Chains A and B, each alone.
Chain A
Amino acid sequence: MLSRSSGAAAPYAGGTDLMPRWSKGIAQRPESIVDLKGIDELKGVSSANGEIRVGACVFMSEIAADPVIRSAAPVLAEAGGRVACPQIRNRATIGGNLCNASPAADTAVPLILLDSALDLASAAREVTVREVPIADFFRGPGSTSLAPGEILMRIRFRPLSEGIFATWDKFGTRRAMEIAVASVGVAVKVEAGTVTHATVAYGSVAPIPLRGRGAEAELVGNPLSAETIAKCEAAAQEEIEPITDVRATEAYRREMVGVMLRRMLQRAERA
């Protein structure tokens, strides 16, 4: 339907972002909408060959409660459980969260920590699926590498391996219904006093949810000392590109990313 409509039909999942945009006239209402929740392949969480598969239409309330996700990637369950409020979490889907491509998308940062792969499906003549690493999926605010007529089918990742300390947090100006002013996620492994694995990601501080390659480089191969943490913090503040908007200033976001990252690494060091 999406392929045949040549752009007149819009894919639709939970509608928690699209419905207000359409009703308030922020975005033009499409001629028709295609409810992806009717497609079985886009539902459910499963585990096979050491890989977790999450359908694009899995609701945030399911992400938060699913036993497979809670055990394999508690950091993702935590983020899913802190999206907006119960009413929204019962409707909003993880696929919608990613495809809207908000720099503040709560589940994007944990999925970057998990090095997720996204399966994009299209059905011009027959169904074809291509894999895109999550790092290549976001192009800018509201923009993704989805081609016209293509949809996000599922998200795949491997469980966090033994000994990895992974955490995610967002900071907002209030506790309820907060859209992150800044969010940070960290996954590190320390062996014999040295960091052997590090993944860092940020939300709301760049045009896209951003992987922190610079911060990671300061961690790997070094002890999780105060000196390393200070260097990592500086690298993070260097590589992010925050802006000033209604929720916070650029300088405040930069400061908060440093604070959150430092506290997470200090917790990792004690863990």
Chain B
Amino acid sequence: MQNVLDKVELGFTVNGEPVKLRVSPLATLLDILRNDLELTGTKYGCGEGECGACSVLLDGKVVNSCLVPALECEGSEVVTIEGLGVNGKVHPIQKAFVDHGAIQCGFCTPGMIMATYALLEANPSPTEEEVKLALEGNLCRCTGYRKIIDAVLSLAKGGAPHG
């Protein structure tokens, strides 16, 4: 069905860079990020909004990019895991995940980090319960939740969690 539909122009901002491309009306934001823009840090997990591996920020809010039609992003600002580090240096959230061994296979990590970013933007010093609720839409099948929660809490304790 995809090839019978004419592609449509889409203009939006990804990680601070303006992007213009022609996309299928059926494409999701995740399709565009991974296939057209080759930002493969954002993962395709379940494709139905259950696992959170495709989490990105859309106009500052964490969303599952597999559930967002790409054309809805016209004029929007999207931030992916690739957009967090500055000048080749990892973001403090990424560093905390590494330091706490909060990464095993790594597949869930980008989504976990984007959900963590959204949490800390809204609530710089979350409690453990608040961390669990903020990450309830992100599955880790290595079951590394304890270390992930510890990594997020270490940022909360630091006072200025991210810059």
Contacts and interface: CB of A to CB of B under 8 A. Distances in A.
A24 B47 contact: yes
Given A29-B1, A85-B52, A15 B68 contact: yes
Contact of B136 (A16, A35, A90, A177): A177
A147 interface: no
Contact of A87 (B69, B133, B137): B137
A102 interface: no
Contacts, number: 68
A257 to B, nearest CB: 25
B50 A23 contact: no
Nearest to B1: A29
B11 interface: no
A20 B48 contact: yes
Contacts of A90: 58, 61-63
B149 interface: no
Contacts of A9: none
A84 B1 CA distance: 31
A20 B47 contact: yes
A87 B62 contact: yes
Interface string B30-63: 0000000000000000011110100100100111
Contacts of B119: 86
Contacts of A24: 47-48
A86 B119 CA distance: 9
Contacts of B138: 85
B48 A87 contact: no
Interface residues of B, number: 28
Interface string A73-96: 000000000001111101100000
B31 to A, nearest CB: 10
Nearest to A176: B136
A258 to B, nearest CB: 28
Interface string A254-270: 00000000000000000
A61 interface: yes
A8 interface: no
A19 interface: yes
A62 to B, nearest CB: 11
B118 interface: yes
A16 B63 CA distance: 10
Contacts of B26: 29
B99 interface: no
B49 A87 contact: yes
A172 B133 CA distance: 15
Interface string A240-266: 000000000000000000000000000
Contacts of A15: 67-69
Interface in B124-140: 132-134, 136-138
A16 B28 CA distance: 12
B115 interface: yes
Interface of B: 1, 26, 28, 47-50, 52, 55, 58, 61-64, 66-69, 72, 115, 118-119, 132-134, 136-138
16 contacts: A16-B64, A16-B67, A20-B67, A61-B61, A85-B52, A86-B62, A86-B115, A86-B136, A86-B137, A87-B55, A87-B62, A88-B67, A90-B61, A91-B63, A177-B136, A177-B137
Interface of A: 15-16, 19-20, 23-24, 29, 33, 35, 61, 84-88, 90-91, 175-177
Given A88-B64, A177-B136, 20 more contacts: A15-B67, A16-B49, A19-B48, A20-B47, A24-B47, A29-B26, A61-B61, A85-B52, A85-B136, A85-B137, A86-B133, A87-B49, A87-B62, A87-B63, A88-B49, A90-B58, A90-B62, A90-B63, A176-B136, A177-B50
